[in-house]
Structure 1
């Protein structure tokens, strides 16, 4: 076991930094501003949401949150197109240059792209006070521009396995447009519907990326430990992804529950088998690895709940949504951001002690949020506790990683 792969809970010397925080460092690589903002926005947006539902439950004035349409729709939208979109942006702007050997987006172009994302968040937060066309333009702009930057690099070395991310970004963009048209009553469409589809598009992204990085990182950690290595079976990999895509398409098109349930069941079994073969249990001594397996396990849980819901009335839809959203997206986002930020800034791949606690906190948040709709008594308390655990997880991540993401890459280690 190398020092780079061992989690130590003993005090360690601080690694030297090449300089203090600066905008130059922040906009030197795509993961920096977007991972930092994903963590900060996740905590802030959930704090606002918790404050709103608390005032609503108390019967107090709710107009202090000046959003157009339902505040519930704003919350759902911002968790996908605000928080998750920022994490996707940071991932693609970091991964695509590695896939293609091209130079990453830096400096002013990166700052402009980030400002586009930020303008969308401000516009959505003030959507009840601004003209609808302006809100829609500012919010929708980010993903197409991100896709254009990615496409410009992907065409250098076109590969179907990478170009599919452009299709998924395009699908998210269409979902966002439909949300705005439905939220403003320009279409006879429930604005929650395109957000739910967008949520599942993000899950497809996670399933694709997870299939690449989880067994690879697990192999790296297990290598030399005389333990069985992760396995990937080609037909199982294809079946798992095909069944997940089929489930999403059937849900999006309003197919009969029987077909949706069968697709969800096949996908749950296939992804569960995929996860077992990746040998996650063998990594239980290494938080920065096992958390990836835990995040992926929430996809299996969400699919299993969706299958059960299709054949019975025993599962509330909110539990399914939050198994995917709070569980899979929340956990995998923390896992990838915490690991990639260390590696790309020249630090050892060792989870800082506070970050291990964020893994536990996000797991608690997901478990409580999924369980809450099943409780008749204590549901409100569980929802509040889930929100507080989410806020704590991402606040702690932001606090720990702010100096990492805003200072230059380490050039020496002692």
Structure 2
């Protein structure tokens, strides 16, 4: 049986705290900033995808479809890019970034108002979808933007701490700033702007918000966690690799906003080569001996695969051969974002709840199953037949993975730490 791996996190006292943790229940939700953000994000992995799976089943003639005031694919993209993954991002950054900067831990109260605005905004937005009221859609997104800005304002002082404005915190904060611009584009669309506003909002969310954020976190944390878990492991994370990956993502995003993403293929292939090389340098094969670590390494591989698919798609398009559809996009979104989220959030939740840093059998199986879901979604646009059935199977697979995962994690955020420490 794998032994629990106990890691001492930087900036964290080794001994027990004198402060008495609050009792279990809603009152403990704001004992640490990751608790409310991860709780909302875990719930959203299921709630935001239920209507989408309903839509996919309807496309296969199994149900009557839901009514959408906007194109359903756009709503699906908006939910995923701004309403699911960012909760995890804010929870992680409010927890980890102060430690990167040598600052005290963030009090949970700092997350309260941003969280209330974010959650309230998405509830209002969902009501606007149900009632088909553009005013409610815009109001909900405006409330989300307010919560976003509150969290970003707090993180600004951390990222740009005098003398400590390093690449990782600054790049992460700039991605959050770009996300605010993307939300503003969606608000403009809800208020009557043309389809270009929605396209810009989607492109920013994919290429200037989430891809940079996930690359920053992976580049910072995968070598660190690997060095903590694997013997004789030398952490490798030169800044030039992250700068290159960020530049590729920024260029692709700019071209996508101009509806010229197919022209990004040379940069995409460079990004693919760099990402796959990092996977090799980070010793993916050795990580397989430690499942909680392997989950992160396997998730990162999808970044190189996705960019390889984008590069191949653009190269073929230049030769007059349109192909692959949305396969590269979902290799990035499901293959990279989703698997990395499951891996990182599982790890942070265990470590910050006083539990052993070990992926149990269920977590490991869910992580592997999610890679299968990503492969199904990619194949739906690659295989010549079975597009709609494969989409529905991938959607059902998503719920089959994230349903049990969320059910496992949600109660943890409402309980005191298992080791009796505060936070």
Report TM bin, short chain.
0.7 to 0.9
Query: CA distance change for structure 1 residues 160 and 379 in 2, over 3 Å: closer, same or farther?
Result: same
Equivalent position of 1:139 in the other structure: 144
SS in 1 for 2:121: helix
Equivalent position of 1:284 in the other structure: 288
User: Deviation at 1:253?
Assistant: 4.1
Equivalent position of 1:71 in the other structure: 72
| 1:210 equivalent in alignment to 2:218 | yes
Q: Name the CA distance, whole Å, in 2 between partners of 1:147 and 1:308.
A: 36
| 1:322 equivalent in alignment to 2:324 | no
| 1:353 equivalent in alignment to 2:353 | no
Q: Name the CA distance, whole Å, in 1 between partners of 2:77 and 2:323.
A: 20
| 1:5 equivalent in alignment to 2:13 | no
Query: CA distance change for structure 1 residues 265 and 73 in 2, over 3 Å: closer, same or farther?
Result: same
Equivalent position of 1:374 in the other structure: 382
| 1:106 equivalent in alignment to 2:108 | yes
- Shift >6 Å, 4+ stretches: none
Deviates more, 1:174-183 or 1:340-349: 174-183
Query: CA distance change for structure 1 residues 81 and 222 in 2, over 3 Å: closer, same or farther?
Result: same
Q: Name the CA distance, whole Å, in 2 between partners of 1:2 and 1:385.
A: 33
- Which whole-Å deviations, capped at 9, do the CAs of 1:252-298 have from their partners, x for residues lacking one? 3455744x111001111111111110001111121111111111111
| 1:306 equivalent in alignment to 2:313 | no
Which of 381, 402, 405 matches 1:397? 405
- Which whole-Å deviations, capped at 9, do the CAs of 1:106-144 have from their partners, x for residues lacking one? 23x533221111112212212243425423322322221
| 1:406 equivalent in alignment to 2:392 | no
Q: Name the CA distance, whole Å, in 1 between partners of 2:63 and 2:46.
A: 23
User: Deviation at 1:190?
Assistant: 5.6
Equivalent position of 2:370 in the other structure: 362
Structure 2, gaps ≥5 residues long: 7-20
Q: Name the CA distance, whole Å, in 2 between partners of 1:355 and 1:303.
A: 27
Q: Name the CA distance, whole Å, in 1 between partners of 2:407 and 2:58.
A: 28
Equivalent position of 2:343 in the other structure: 335
Equivalent position of 1:159 in the other structure: 165
Contact 1:237/1:274 (CA < 8 Å) preserved in 2? Answer: no
User: Deviation at 1:75?
Assistant: 1.1
TM-score for the superposition, normalised by structure 2: 0.85
TM-score for the superposition, normalised by structure 1: 0.87
| 1:30 equivalent in alignment to 2:38 | no
Q: How does 1:228-247 map to 2 (within 5 A)?
A: 229-233=234-238, 235-247=240-252
Q: Name the CA distance, whole Å, in 2 between partners of 1:220 and 1:314.
A: 45
Q: Name the CA distance, whole Å, in 1 between partners of 2:27 and 2:108.
A: 9
User: Deviation at 1:329?
Assistant: 0.5
Equivalent position of 1:168 in the other structure: 175
Q: Name the CA distance, whole Å, in 2 between partners of 1:113 and 1:385.
A: 35
Q: Name the CA distance, whole Å, in 2 between partners of 1:392 and 1:60.
A: 19
Equivalent position of 2:154 in the other structure: 149
Query: CA distance change for structure 1 residues 279 and 25 in 2, over 3 Å: closer, same or farther?
Result: same
SS in 1 for 2:354: coil
Equivalent position of 2:61 in the other structure: 58
RMSD of the TM alignment (CA)?
Answer: 2.6
Q: Name the CA distance, whole Å, in 2 between partners of 1:240 and 1:73.
A: 26
